[in-house]
Amino acid sequence: MGCGCLLALVAVVSPRFAFILVWLFTDLVGRALEGFLLPTLGLIFLPFTTLFYVLVYDPAGLTVWSWLLVILGFLFDLAAYGSSGYANSRQSSYS
């Protein structure tokens, strides 16, 4: 992939959009995840985790550093869900 910095900037703004770009323009998703259901569920529920897994996937096996990046993606997903829940609770308390 020749434009990794651009992909990183898009992923910061919208991990789902970055994942769709990777899915449409590369074969990384098909190599890392088989079928249509698992990538779609990852896109809906855990976009950072799925995107990081697809980007670090190696058919020979994932290294410790690769798994750490996937775990970091999972933490990003949890933080996104937590912050949106916190914002919704603050908004409803003012109503």
Q: Which residue has the higher pLDDT, 37 or 2?
A: 37
Instruction: Name 88's Cβ contacts closer than 8 Å, sequence gap at least 6.
Output: none
Percent of the chain with pLDDT over 70: 84
> Are the C-beta atoms of 22 and 7 separated by less than 8 Å?
yes
Res. 38 pLDDT band, cuts 50 70 90: very high
Contact 16, 43 (CB under 8 A): yes
| pLDDT single digits (tens) 55-79 | 999 999 999 999 999 999 999 999 9
How many domains does the chain divide into? Answer: 1
Segments forming the whole domain that contains residue 89: 4-94
Q: Which pLDDT belongs to residue 71?
A: 97
